[in-house]
Chains A and B, each alone.
Chain A
Amino acid sequence: MSTPLEHDYIGLAETSSMERSSEKLSSSSSSSIPSIEDKTSKTANDTCLNLKETELRLGLPGSQSPERKLSLFGQDLETNDKSNGFAGSSPLKNLVSGAKRGFSDAIDGSNGKWVFSMNGKSDVELAKGAALASPRVGLDSKTNSQQAKTSASVMKEVVGVPQSPKPVQDKNNLVPPVNDHAIAPASKAQVVGWPPIRSFRKNSMASNLAKNSDEGAGCLYVKVSMDGAPYLRKVDLKTYNNYMEFSSALEKMFSCFTIGQCNSSGLPARDGLSESRLMDLLHGSEYVLTYEDKDGDWMLVGDVPWEMFTDSCRRLRIMKGSEAIGLAPRAMEKCKNQN
């Protein structure tokens, strides 16, 4: 199914859920919706195609530019490629030129490991923006952010289209594959005012979700940012048992940045990078590892027991020492001494 390619970018690691979501979105291929769907699938397709023409696109990686002709969309929708579209790069090759580069180009197909291309930054920005917009689509326009306003108004416009009087038309089409600027895992297009939950409750839950890190059953993903790095990473805190494991994992993730830093600041480059701990590396290179806790305060990593840390950590930031005044006096002293 090539539809997923234009809709989601995160499914690369969670392909099965993406396939499921794209099944729902692409009404023609869905099997969960009963047979009535088949009769109207053609009209649904037409409707969906029209919507695609008009919809606002953020150009997610792997997606096609709006200049694509209608027929190409039709072709894509009808391509019932059930294979895992992300296992290798072959389905991607089906995309004609004009497809936006991004994560998809950088996938190491064999084990799904992520390798970020340097183009990734804009996509991450988009992802962040989309993540902000997503839970608020359909919310009270007063509280919407600018992006959400755009998506909300497009939502309204789009939802308006299938309302043409067709008495027998299955209203399932009202949740068309539109405007999927969603956080991962992709939520499907939101109909205005559905499910029927009051704004206040929606807003409180949305702000709770925004605050909490993504939690599935037994995982605790938090974002890790590093000053000067062009993109962020996400780590699952539950996969580590103590600070040592955690720091070596972080070090592996961000080593490509810190090596350069070490050298440019004149500090001795370390041999056998894999043996050194991130803490030392950071202290040596004027970086400090900090985290934001549940109360919104920025704290130094390492002060509290590991379990307490994972309970309260919302996100991490690898800060430049110069900014960490008051947080990490030891680091500052070390730098001073070394200089």
Chain B
Amino acid sequence: MESSELKRSKDSVNSCESARRSSFPDEVLERVLSLLKSHRDRSSVSLVCKDWYNAERWSRTHVFIGNCYSVSPEIVARRFPRIRSVTLKGKPRFSDFNLVPENWGADIHAWLVVFAAEYPFLEELRLKRMAISDESLEFLAVSFPNFKALSLLSCDGFSTNGLAAIATHCKNLTELDIQENGIDDIGGSWLSCFPESFTTLEVLNFANLTSDINFDALEKLVGRCKSMRVLKLNRSVSLEQLQRLLVNAPQLAELGTGLFSQELTIREYEELESALSNCKNMHTLSGLWDATGIYLPALYLACTHLTFLNLSYAALQSVELAKLLAHCPQLKRLWVLDTVEDKGLEAVGLNCPLLEELRVFPADPFDDEIVHGVTEAGFVAVSFGCPRLHYVLYFCRQMTNAAVATIVQNCPDFTHFRLCIMNPGQPDYLTNEPMDEAFGAVVRTCTKLQRLSVSGLLTDLTFEYIGRYAKNLETLSVAFAGRSDWGMQCVLGGCPKLRKLEIRDCPFGNAALLSGLEKYESMRSLWMSACNVTMNGCRLLAREMPWLNVEVMKEDGSDDSQADKVYVYRSIAGPRRDAPPSVLTL
């Protein structure tokens, strides 16, 4: 702390002179800027002048790093001395789908070591797609006495032992949020590691762990943490146990149930219903594993003020969903499985006029002989009933250009349009034409579009449309699409706000790759796998653009001249030194 104080006084000496010219003393400027939360606004502010740059960096308490390799922990610590909260993202998004080798990198440990030295008062750490070991978690737990919030999403490399270390040592913990991770679930004893005296937990999410936990320990924990507002249980917690927990925690705002299927007596059912309806603050509901029509009615009274309902682990039928939704008039976000079929989606359109986000996941993604799931009809039905819809993730087996045109006409405010026609390269099933016009309609009509995932049979025309019309597009995901380099060139030549471009299995080659030389510096990253890019093309790119890291992941036994997987990102930290042998940095 002392050295930074010294630095600070040096800076203020320098800026004293400029202070005579500027109208704000530093303290006031810092105070004003400390109210800025958005990291983008802060970035803009820091570019105004040197005073503002300094004021901004001294007042910043939260840093968001979208690519852990774009910067080094030392550089971060040097620039921002007063950080209390860090959000870090690591691996490329396609690692979620097993396209990135396991030992690729994005290890948190080096960051933790620097943070322990520079930010001993660190309070929050939110990680996405990072590699974390149990040793790192233990190090985290003992190095930061003020540590409050840990959130892990899509991370891997740790086990429940690491969680035990957190529970044991973090006396001020308010948030433990373990989302979908590659965690080695050894057992549930970690939960029992919270000391008896521990009362500060507000957020507890262990929904994606599978082992049984000690329910007694959980019950006591929930009982003494009076400020708990988010509780997401795992499958091992039964309905009866849920009821007991809710009786002691009616203040919950977000609830993730355990298994929603059990033989209950009438009395037990009524008690459950009552406990659920007593949660007057509940706005988010999830879990509901194996939920069937029998016990869903217990939720009806609790759903009155619900804004987010996550049914993506409950294989409901259309009728069950329709009955449930009749009680959810305030719903803004809905996640379902495609077992609800088009009829279920019609019910969504009828019952949820305020809906803003819809995600439909496939129950059976690898089996397309069964004619189930949702079609274009369901999506269209939702669009008629839910004009405020702006976020959609839709997995289906058939789609038409006309349907998509209708959908965006009904809902022109899309910001996130992610359509996955599950059979790669499938055309409009009615006309047999490519799906170009569908996505053309999307980008033309939805001027606020920030994120787009395309699918189906697509020619270069789709990408012409995207390049020409998608002025606000930031993230584009492409798979099994396009005809030639021209497609990718259109995107790189248009789309002024493009930040992330991820491409797999497309016929784009070196000419396309190299057409984006300047563009890549304004982007966070580019991913290209199973395309036609060669090592020479990558080498050329690396040579021309020193501020870009060009990494090639080699597959065993593939042609040496082909670049199977390419990951390009801007960085001020230079090429990374922790790449495994299968990753070549050019």
> Interface on A for B, CB 8 Å cutoff?
17, 20-21, 33-34, 134-135, 137-142, 156-157, 159-160, 163-172, 174-175, 183, 185-188, 190-202, 204-205, 208-209, 216, 294
Contact A138 B98 (CB under 8 A): yes
Given the interface pairs A142-B182, A171-B425, A171-B505, the reply to whether A198 lies near B365 with Cβ below 8 Å is no
| Selected A-B contacts with CB under 8 Å, 24 pairs | A34-B457, A135-B366, A137-B366, A138-B366, A140-B98, A163-B505, A164-B559, A165-B562, A167-B485, A171-B507, A174-B424, A174-B480, A174-B505, A174-B530, A185-B367, A185-B369, A192-B97, A193-B99, A194-B424, A195-B395, A197-B361, A201-B312, A204-B313, A209-B364
Alpha-carbon distance A185/B422, docked complex (angstroms): 17
CB contact between A34 and one of B208, B427, B534, B564 (< 8 Å): that residue: B427
B472-498 interface with A by 8 A CB criterion: 477, 479-481, 483-485
Given contacts A167-B532, A185-B370, 11 further A-B contacts (CB under 8 A): A33-B425, A140-B182, A141-B98, A160-B558, A168-B507, A194-B97, A195-B365, A195-B395, A196-B479, A199-B180, A208-B290
Q: Give the residues in chain A near B530, CB-CB below 8 Å.
A: 159, 163, 174
Instruction: Please count the residue pairs between chain A and chain B whose beta carbons lie under 8 angstroms apart in the complex.
Output: 128
Q: Give the residues in chain A near B581, CB-CB below 8 Å.
A: none
Chain B interface residue count, CB cutoff 8 Å, equals: 56
CB contact between B422 and one of A142, A183, A195 (< 8 Å): that residue: A195
Q: Which residue of B lies closest to A16 (CB)?
A: B369
Cβ of B555 within 8 Å of any chain A Cβ, yes or no, is yes
The 3 lowest CB-CB distance pairs between A and B, nearest first, are A193-B97, A200-B180, A185-B369
Q: Give the residues in chain A near B424, CB-CB below 8 Å.
A: 171-172, 174-175, 191, 194
Q: Give the residues in chain A near B312, CB-CB below 8 Å.
A: 201
Contact A197 B97 (CB under 8 A): yes
Contact A160 B98 (CB under 8 A): no
Alpha-carbon distance A106/B319, docked complex (angstroms): 43
Q: Give the residues in chain B near A160, CB-CB below 8 Å.
A: 555, 557-558, 564
Q: Give the residues in chain A near B368, CB-CB below 8 Å.
A: 187-188
Secondary structure call for the B interface: loop
CB contact between A171 and one of B361, B480, B509 (< 8 Å): that residue: B480
Cβ of B363 within 8 Å of any chain A Cβ, yes or no, is yes
Q: Give the residues in chain B near A199, CB-CB below 8 Å.
A: 96, 98, 180, 182
Cβ of B506 within 8 Å of any chain A Cβ, yes or no, is yes
Cβ of B197 within 8 Å of any chain A Cβ, yes or no, is no
CB contact between A139 and one of B98, B364, B425, B504 (< 8 Å): that residue: B98
Alpha-carbon distance A294/B557, docked complex (angstroms): 45
B313-368 interface with A by 8 A CB criterion: 313, 315, 361-368
CB contact between A196 and one of B96, B313, B427, B432 (< 8 Å): that residue: B96
Alpha-carbon distance A302/B181, docked complex (angstroms): 43
CB contact between A294 and one of B208, B261, B555, B558 (< 8 Å): that residue: B261
A312 CB to nearest B CB, Å:
9
Contact A193 B480 (CB under 8 A): no
Contact with A along B81-113 (1 / 0, CB 8 A): 000000000000010111100100000000000
A339 CB to nearest B CB, Å:
38
Q: Which residue of A lies closest to B315 (CB)?
A: A208
Q: Give the residues in chain A near B505, CB-CB below 8 Å.
A: 163, 171, 174, 191
Contact A34 B432 (CB under 8 A): yes
Contact B367 A163 (CB under 8 A): no
A8 CB to nearest B CB, Å:
10
B64 CB to nearest A CB, Å:
22
Q: Give the residues in chain B near A195, CB-CB below 8 Å.
A: 362, 365, 395, 420, 422
Given the interface pairs A172-B424, A201-B312, the reply to whether A20 lies near B98 with Cβ below 8 Å is no
Cβ of B154 within 8 Å of any chain A Cβ, yes or no, is yes
Contact B369 A20 (CB under 8 A): yes
Alpha-carbon distance A209/B562, docked complex (angstroms): 39
| A183, A187, A294: most-surrounded residue (chain B CB, <10 A) | A187
A36 CB to nearest B CB, Å:
9
Alpha-carbon distance A196/B94, docked complex (angstroms): 8
Alpha-carbon distance A315/B484, docked complex (angstroms): 52
Secondary structure call for the A interface: loop
Alpha-carbon distance A204/B395, docked complex (angstroms): 17
Q: Give the residues in chain B near A197, CB-CB below 8 Å.
A: 97, 361-362, 365, 395
Contact B507 A198 (CB under 8 A): no
Q: Give the residues in chain A near B507, CB-CB below 8 Å.
A: 166-169, 171
Alpha-carbon distance A21/B559, docked complex (angstroms): 32
Alpha-carbon distance A195/B422, docked complex (angstroms): 6
A213 CB to nearest B CB, Å:
14
| B97, B180, B362: most-surrounded residue (chain A CB, <10 A) | B97
| B102, B261, B313, B480: most-surrounded residue (chain A CB, <10 A) | B480
B565 CB to nearest A CB, Å:
11
Alpha-carbon distance A197/B395, docked complex (angstroms): 10
Contact B365 A202 (CB under 8 A): yes
Q: Give the residues in chain B near A208, CB-CB below 8 Å.
A: 290, 315
Alpha-carbon distance A193/B213, docked complex (angstroms): 32
Q: Give the residues in chain A near B313, CB-CB below 8 Å.
A: 204
B365 CB to nearest A CB, Å:
5
Q: Give the residues in chain B near A159, CB-CB below 8 Å.
A: 530
Contact B562 A163 (CB under 8 A): yes
Q: Give the residues in chain A near B425, CB-CB below 8 Å.
A: 33, 170-172
Given the interface pairs A34-B427, A191-B424, A193-B97, the reply to whether A198 lies near B154 with Cβ below 8 Å is yes
B531-566 interface with A by 8 A CB criterion: 532, 534, 555, 557-559, 562, 564
Alpha-carbon distance A117/B521, docked complex (angstroms): 66
Contact B564 A201 (CB under 8 A): no
Alpha-carbon distance A160/B94, docked complex (angstroms): 17
Q: Which residue of A lies closest to B428 (CB)?
A: A34
B272-304 interface with A by 8 A CB criterion: 290
A237 CB to nearest B CB, Å:
17
Q: Give the residues in chain B near A205, CB-CB below 8 Å.
A: 363-365
Q: Give the residues in chain A near B483, CB-CB below 8 Å.
A: 167-168
Q: Which residue of B lies closest to A138 (CB)?
A: B98
B320 CB to nearest A CB, Å:
15
Alpha-carbon distance A198/B95, docked complex (angstroms): 9
Q: Give the residues in chain A near B481, CB-CB below 8 Å.
A: 171
Q: Give the residues in chain A near B365, CB-CB below 8 Å.
A: 195, 197, 202, 205
Contact B422 A157 (CB under 8 A): no
Q: Give the residues in chain B near A204, CB-CB below 8 Å.
A: 313
Contact A186 B369 (CB under 8 A): yes
Q: Give the residues in chain A near B422, CB-CB below 8 Å.
A: 195
Q: Give the residues in chain A near B182, CB-CB below 8 Å.
A: 140, 142, 199
Contact A196 B562 (CB under 8 A): no
Alpha-carbon distance A135/B557, docked complex (angstroms): 26
| A134, A142, A186: most-surrounded residue (chain B CB, <10 A) | A142
| A159, A165, A191, A192: most-surrounded residue (chain B CB, <10 A) | A165
Q: Which residue of B lies closest to A17 (CB)?
A: B369
Contact A198 B427 (CB under 8 A): no
Contact A157 B557 (CB under 8 A): yes
Contact B97 A201 (CB under 8 A): no
Q: Give the residues in chain A near B457, CB-CB below 8 Å.
A: 34
Contact A156 B555 (CB under 8 A): yes
Contact with A along B372-387 (1 / 0, CB 8 A): 0000000000000000
A4 CB to nearest B CB, Å:
12
Contact B532 A201 (CB under 8 A): no
Alpha-carbon distance A205/B312, docked complex (angstroms): 10
Q: Which residue of B lies closest to A204 (CB)?
A: B313
Q: Give the residues in chain A near B479, CB-CB below 8 Å.
A: 194, 196
B237 CB to nearest A CB, Å:
15
A177 CB to nearest B CB, Å:
14
Contact A167 B97 (CB under 8 A): no
